[in-house]
Structure 1
Amino acid sequence: MSTRNSLRSAFLQLKRRSSTNTGGVWSDFSKRPTTLKINNAPIRQTLFSEGNSEEGPASLTNGDERLAYHSPIAIDETFQMAYRILEKEANSKYQIVDRLEKSLKNAASQEETIEIKDRIDKNLIEAEIENPEVLYNAEFADSKLLDKSQPVYRHLLKEKWENYDLLVTMQRLEQLHVIPDTLPTLVPKADVKVKFTHNTEDQFSKWVTPGSLLPAFAVSEPPTVYIQEFDRVEGSNNLYTVLLVNPDTPDLATNSFTTTLHYGLKNVMLNNVDNSIDVSKLLKVGPRITFKEYTPLTPEKNAPAQRACLWVFRQSKEIGDISEASENFDIREFAATHGLTPIGAHIWRQKFDRSVPGVRQMYGLGEGRVYEKVRSMDPLNL
């Protein structure tokens, strides 16, 4: 045991003498934003050998686990060596960024400007993608607190999105036939999340898992819509349209279904950082961007489950006055007419429940209908 303690003490002294934080590019925040460093001081001190190593790493919250932790022999020296090598490579990328930023001032066209900015973003990602502080933030920090203006964070968030949330969303959109019942296909470019903040129960106040079956009271007020683009958003590319449609509205005349528009927003200005449509935003600009006030789905008794399909589009230009009818809404024709490109979608489902009558009364929708449990497939003879 004494030999182990002697080795541990020797390595700790060597570690303190050869601190990783040597004033390289990753330690210089005069030009780099401080959002690229770890904000948790104890964890950052542990990373750079400035904390009390006898107490164990600060990332372990359990005291017994911290005291029982022993680093592999020479792991600190190996880390420091790798850190310096990677930091040197990052410095070369920042030198390229400096040259590109100078050439950006002399760009002769919009196309050249975009091309240079794309190259700048690419090199900024490569400069920070191996930074342990950035990787820690992307993995463990609250994603809402990450600086989405930084290309490296958007890149890492996109990888995480593609590995899980995107797969779940696309599975539900196809499994529940949102594609092709509403739009024929989707090439997803943005992470779209939905939650209903008027709820007080944890079960209904969190982000909605795509395809969830929700009661009417839980969706009785407009949702907060989170739209995270991973590409750079600036200039005229930051206008969006949001449509909430129900393709399962019963059509008694044809013994089939039609589509109803339940919520419509246009000319919504968003970017990589300001990327949510919530109550505060609607209070400020709601009348200017809302062309169809929110009306929740209220399925009638004995009707099949209905799909609330929320689509997010990127606009090619500003949209003027809209006088679309909510009933028999043709979302495909609407998108084509206004030059909309779908970039993301979400879905939740609803069935008749005991809160439906109250919500219908809240919105002045009448008492609703009660269908027979068994219906013929033949059209009605009216």
Structure 2
Amino acid sequence: MPRKIIITGGAGFLGRRLTEQLRRPDAPEAAGTIVWYDQPAAIEAARATAPAGVELVGGDIADPEGLAALLDEPEIGIFHLASVVSGQGEQDFDLALRVNLDGTRALLEASRRHTAKGHGGVRLVATSSVAIFGPGSGPVGSDAAPPRPGTTYGMTKAVLELMINDYARKGFLDGRVARIPTVIIRPGAPNAAASSAASAAFREPLAGRPYVVPVAPETRMAVGGVAGVVAGLADLYRLPGEALGEFRTLTFPSVSATFAEMLEVLRRTVPAEALAPVTFEPDPQIQAIVDTWVPRTEGDRALDLGVGAVDDLDAILRDYLDREHPDLVPQRKQSPS
């Protein structure tokens, strides 16, 4: 593994957990310097809580010079997580294009110039999304299913996949893409993603805050636990390039669950007196976005290559309780065997 790893969007939830994953003592290869490259405001907010030894750099993801300045070692590793998310992308088309497409292009061009200087090259893992699939993709998202995005966010991720695949084909960098499901359970405040309801349905009642789910209870989503997703990203990074072949994208496995099923797991695991009420009041805009996504994914190729693992809702909830609500852990109900 290159001694320097750059994580764009590193100050966010996924970047923090990925940093922890890369620094695990049992990791096959230890990461050296880890750099979080994020919006200046996000970097300033992260200074008090960033792990020791992580370098914090604020900048514009679409600034090629700022990105190039980070590529100052012969071999560089990059995890490209920075992105405008689904709901925000529908509201601000130009911002989605600037961050998700112009930002990705700037990063790829900086990597291309780095390789052209005769350095050891750049290995890049970028996150795509199951939002690249839509009503015309069929009922299951997979490596073989055709991308038919029904949102601006999904469109930008489909273009990202094609760009990285072609830059890798040209030998400009060693690129690979992870098509990840909706990642749960995110702590903190909800973000602008339409998918944030899947985390909020667990997080808010556990925090004692009543929550109104903005989609119908029978709405089914493809979700994945953060522990499994960041482990899969690290696996994909370490995978030899030749194992991927010409198609550099892997669809990650997921759990297919309705919101009613998510709440059933929560209520059978945590005593009722520890939970705030949850009700349903579908928001037409959010429901319309979520309804364009495939409700399940098939990650057979990823699993065959040793990337990621099959998750389950009980394990995802246990991980969240251990980290965010250890006071509730002794009160857990006995889960069914």
TM-score, with length taken from structure 2: 0.26
Q: TM-score, normalised by structure 1?
A: 0.24
Q: Specify the structure having the higher radius of gyration (Cα).
A: 1
